[in-house]
């Protein structure tokens, strides 16, 4: 059997995989030693991908309500409902909610249909929950959503600061690369995180900041480096601040940073998922800009994305506040995009970001919603509210691979999409490297590629000429050609050398990185930032943090199929300091209820002295469809960062009590 080279279905590391198909739905997986993201390494999730490719639980035919139907009937209904909604209530009554699980070609098609031809920018993505604040920080500092470094920089740095990142669990192959570099050259690792995570356990220094203490710490670091003559900035109020950590530890951290011009700061969800996330990103970037630690080997601020193709979605314009290809909504940018798509229906301005989108559905302003490859009834903050809003949709269309998810249960129409191992296209990882995901199996049942489903609806809406693609290669070529507009407007994103790829060249496309190893914007600027003010109700005295488990992914619809992965954590645990548990009358292994102003959920108590006093942690993965209780996002308030619209998932108000 020959091997097929593809990429992992899960995280933003974007590991290359060699897959050997051994039967109709069986495959053996190993790391691709030639792929520059992983050089052969895989983590537990990637290694066990083969256990998740069976057809158990799959959605294999279009469904209207609970009735199987044919594609024509389903697509006609979707197009008719979309057209009728637009006619009665205008384009802004229609919205798409999409996903970093989509391939770039799918994302491009969805963005083109809604922004170019429906005439609204009401498309947002679950990436809003993941790294929208990093995007906003990049835009403020660089004028473009640019990640300025590469994985190689982590290996050439003398000091790696990991901010709000349990790298060993959430981006394990990056952690392996950092560990190997540490072995080879003595890299120092500092973890800045309220929790003593697996990663913090292995670091040279764990800086246990208070929740949302990042901006304070980075401002104080910048100020200390200015005082030593190692950085120069025009001071702003709040720059000279108490770092929020013990003075001795701060002095040691300043010494380490001062001695390490080759320094990478990798930041992830702990920084982004905050009501002050954009400022945190800029506080980090400021330190690098002011000390010249950017654009050099082994130096730079490095945002790691969560999902396999969050970056591809950002590139094509899958966020409601980007038009397309890193372009915004200025008159000149809109004119260029309208001309490229040959449309007179281009959306006039930005659309609704995720939290606002579900509010608009609740209020009846958005009446038609098409959800693709994501499960907002579980993953959104204030998930009970989101679920109730979804139930109010006049039309809810869900494209997915899984038949039964909490969101799919509310759908009027379900459309069977291709999953990993069946679909064919490209993804972009956290270092801007575009790789092919290739099909291993024939499409099961009646499943189709997302881009093809979107194009079929576009044809029914009368826009067939603009969606006349026959393959994912056709879509990719169009997207690559469109990046000429980005270059025209001074952006670094430019794939025009790939605009004329033959089908064969697309099939054989080797991983490549756009923008080069250190992608630098023509202009960079320091953005004065101040810590966000937090206000809490004393009736909820604990700080609630939520996050991932090592071996699970999102709402477990795929990883939950793997018996091996489920061995790591069989149920959702409440991690709590033993003294806080005792004060609440909770014994280890007992069931506890976590209450917040949003709702409540039940977890099994796990004592963890690594939790700071007054802070608790629960995992994000469980849902009605998977387990029943333990639904952490029912607990999370829908408060967002004012710049990025990204919700805070890491610093909520809560109390705990016996069940």
Residues lying near ligand SF4 in the complex (CB under 6 A) are found at 8, 10-11, 13-15, 38, 42-43, 45-46, 171-173
Closer residue to ligand SF4 (CB): 123 or 173? 173
Closer residue to ligand SF4 (CB): 276 or 425? 425
Closer residue to ligand SF4 (CB): 6 or 374? 6
Report the nearest approach of ligand SF4 to the CB of residue 420 (Å). Answer: 11
> Which tokens sit at 444?
């099961």
Helix (H, G, I), strand (E, B) or coil at 598: coil
The contacts of residue 574 (CB under 8 Å, 6+ apart) are: 592, 594, 603, 604, 605, 606, 616, 617, 618, 656
> Which tokens sit at 434?
């575009």
Closest CA to 200 of 609, 624, 525, 542: 609
Segment holding 399, helix H or strand E: strand 395-400
Q: Give the alpha-carbon dihedral of 563, 52, 35, 509, to 10 degrees.
A: 180
Report the nearest approach of ligand SF4 to the CB of residue 102 (Å). Answer: 16
Report the nearest approach of ligand SF4 to the CB of residue 104 (Å). Answer: 16
Report the nearest approach of ligand SF4 to the CB of residue 172 (Å). Answer: 5
**Dist. CA 481–CA 499, nearest whole Å:** 5
Closer residue to ligand SF4 (CB): 353 or 433? 433
Report the nearest approach of ligand SF4 to the CB of residue 37 (Å). Answer: 7
> Which tokens sit at 563?
């018996």
Closer residue to ligand SF4 (CB): 10 or 479? 10
Segment holding 430, helix H or strand E: none
Closer residue to ligand SF4 (CB): 35 or 334? 35
Closer residue to ligand SF4 (CB): 305 or 633? 305
The contacts of residue 638 (CB under 8 Å, 6+ apart) are: 355, 359, 380, 381, 382, 385, 647
Report the nearest approach of ligand SF4 to the CB of residue 10 (Å). Answer: 3
Closer residue to ligand SF4 (CB): 43 or 417? 43
Report the nearest approach of ligand SF4 to the CB of residue 171 (Å). Answer: 6
Q: Where are the beta strands (DSSP E) in 262-328?
A: 263-267, 300-303
Report the nearest approach of ligand SF4 to the CB of residue 312 (Å). Answer: 14
**Dist. CA 73–CA 260, nearest whole Å:** 63
Instruction: Tell me the Cα Rg of the chain.
Output: 24
Closer residue to ligand SF4 (CB): 168 or 486? 168
Report the nearest approach of ligand SF4 to the CB of residue 374 (Å). Answer: 18
Apex 561 CA angle, 558 and 566, nearest 5: 105
**Dist. CA 638–CA 618, nearest whole Å:** 17
Report the nearest approach of ligand SF4 to the CB of residue 170 (Å). Answer: 8
Helix (H, G, I), strand (E, B) or coil at 67: strand
- 401 DSSP assignment: S
Report the nearest approach of ligand SF4 to the CB of residue 38 (Å). Answer: 6
Closest CA to 399 of 148, 103, 28, 146: 103
Apex 300 CA angle, 294 and 302, nearest 5: 145
Closer residue to ligand SF4 (CB): 438 or 477? 438
**Dist. CA 297–CA 299, nearest whole Å:** 6
Beta strand pairing status for 159-163 and 188-192?
A: parallel
**Dist. CA 281–CA 303, nearest whole Å:** 8
Closer residue to ligand SF4 (CB): 7 or 216? 7
Report the nearest approach of ligand SF4 to the CB of residue 29 (Å). Answer: 9
Closer residue to ligand SF4 (CB): 169 or 607? 169
> Which tokens sit at 165?
């990142």
Report the nearest approach of ligand SF4 to the CB of residue 308 (Å). Answer: 7
221-247 residues labelled b (16+ CB within 10 A) or e (exposed): bbbbbbeeebbebeeeeebeeebbbee
Phi, psi (degrees; rounded to nearest 5) at 640:
-125, 160
**Dist. CA 497–CA 481, nearest whole Å:** 8
Closer residue to ligand SF4 (CB): 42 or 294? 42
Report the nearest approach of ligand SF4 to the CB of residue 554 (Å). Answer: 11
CB count within 10 Å of CB 629 equals: 16
Report the nearest approach of ligand SF4 to the CB of residue 8 (Å). Answer: 3
Closer residue to ligand SF4 (CB): 502 or 567? 567
Report the nearest approach of ligand SF4 to the CB of residue 194 (Å). Answer: 24
Q: Give the alpha-carbon dihedral of 140, 160, 197, 38, to 10 degrees.
A: 90
Closer residue to ligand SF4 (CB): 46 or 647? 46
Apex 653 CA angle, 650 and 656, nearest 5: 105
342-379 residues labelled b (16+ CB within 10 A) or e (exposed): ebeebbeebbbbbbbbbbbbbeebbbbbbbbbbbbbbb
Closer residue to ligand SF4 (CB): 358 or 420? 420
**Nearest residue to ligand SF4, scored by beta-carbon proximity:** 46
């Amino acid at each position: 059997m020959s091997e097929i080279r593809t990429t992992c279905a899960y995280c933003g590391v974007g590991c290359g995989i060699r897959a050997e198909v051994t039967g109709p739905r069986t495959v053996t997986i190993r790391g691709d030693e030639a792929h520059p993201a992983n050089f052969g390494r895989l983590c537990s999730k990637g290694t066990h991908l083969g256990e998740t490719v069976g057809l158990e639980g799959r959605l294999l035919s279009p469904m209207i309500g609970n009735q199987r139907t044919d594609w024509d009937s389903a697509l006609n209904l979707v197009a008719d409902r979309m057209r009728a909604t637009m006619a009665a209530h205008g384009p802004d009554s229609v919205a798409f909610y999409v996903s970093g699980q989509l391939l770039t070609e799918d994302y491009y098609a969805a963005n083109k249909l809604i922004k170019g031809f429906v005439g609204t920018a009401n498309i947002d993505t679950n990436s809003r929950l993941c790294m929208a604040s990093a995007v906003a920080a990049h835009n403020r500092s660089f004028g473009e959503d640019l990640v300025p470094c590469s994985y190689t920089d982590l290996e050439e740095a003398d000091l790696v600061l990991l901010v709000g990142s349990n790298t060993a669990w959430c981006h394990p192959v990056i952690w392996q690369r950092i560990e190997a570099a540490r072995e080879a050259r003595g890299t120092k690792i500092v973890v800045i995180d309220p929790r003593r995570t697996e990663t913090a356990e292995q670091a040279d220094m764990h800086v246990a900041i208070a929740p949302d203490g990042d901006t304070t710490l980075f401002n104080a670091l910048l100020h200390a480096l200015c005082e030593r003559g190692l950085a120069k900035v025009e001071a702003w109020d709040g720059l000279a601040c108490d770092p929020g950590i013990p003075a001795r530890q701060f002095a040691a951290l300043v010494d380490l940073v001062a001695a390490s011009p080759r320094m990478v700061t990798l930041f992830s969800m702990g920084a982004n998922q905050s009501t002050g996330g954009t400022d945190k990103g800029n506080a980090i970037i400021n330190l690098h800009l002011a000390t010249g630690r950017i654009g050099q080997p082994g130096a730079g601020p490095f945002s790691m994305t969560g999902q396999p193709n969050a970056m591809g979605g950002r590139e094509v314009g899958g966020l409601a506040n980007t038009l397309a290809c890193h372009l915004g909504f200025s008159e000149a940018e809109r004119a260029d995009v309208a001309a490229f798509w040959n449309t007179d229906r281009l959306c006039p301005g930005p659309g609704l970001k995720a939290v606002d989108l579900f509010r608009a559905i609740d209020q009846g302003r958005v009446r038609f919603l098409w959800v693709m490859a994501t499960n907002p009834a579980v993953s959104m903050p204030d998930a009970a509210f989101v679920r109730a809003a979804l139930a109010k949709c006049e039309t809810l269309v869900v494209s997915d691979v899984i038949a039964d998810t909490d969101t799919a249960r509310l759908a009027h129409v379900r459309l069977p999409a291709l999953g990993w191992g069946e679909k064919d296209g490209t993804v972009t990882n956290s270092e801007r490297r575009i790789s092919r995901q290739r099909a291993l199996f024939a499409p099961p049942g009646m499943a189709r590629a997302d881009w093809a489903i979107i194009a079929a609806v576009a044809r029914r809406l009368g826009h067939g000429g603009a969606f006349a693609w026959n393959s994912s290669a056709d879509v990719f070529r169009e997207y690559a050609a469109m990046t000429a507009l980005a270059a025209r407007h001074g952006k670094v994103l430019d794939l025009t050398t790939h605009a004329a790829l033959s089908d064969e060249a697309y099939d054989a496309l080797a991983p490549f990185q756009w923008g080069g190893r250190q992608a630098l914007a023509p202009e960079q600027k320091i953005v004065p930032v101040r810590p966000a003010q937090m206000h809490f109700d004393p009736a909820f005295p604990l700080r609630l943090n939520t996050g991932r488990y090592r071996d699970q992914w999102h709402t477990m619809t795929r990883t939950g199929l793997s018996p091996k992965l489920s061995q790591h954590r069989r149920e959702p645990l409440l991690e709590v300091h033993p003294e806080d548990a005792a004060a609440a009358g909770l014994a280890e292994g007992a069931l506890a209820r976590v209450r917040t102003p949003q709702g409540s959920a039940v977890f099994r108590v796990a004592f963890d002295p690594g939790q700071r006093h007054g802070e608790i942690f629960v995992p994000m993965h469980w849902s009605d469809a998977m387990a029943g209780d333990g639904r952490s996002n029912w607990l999370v308030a829908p408060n967002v960062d004012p710049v990025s619209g990204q919700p805070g998932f890491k610093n909520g108000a809560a109390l705990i009590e016996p069940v």
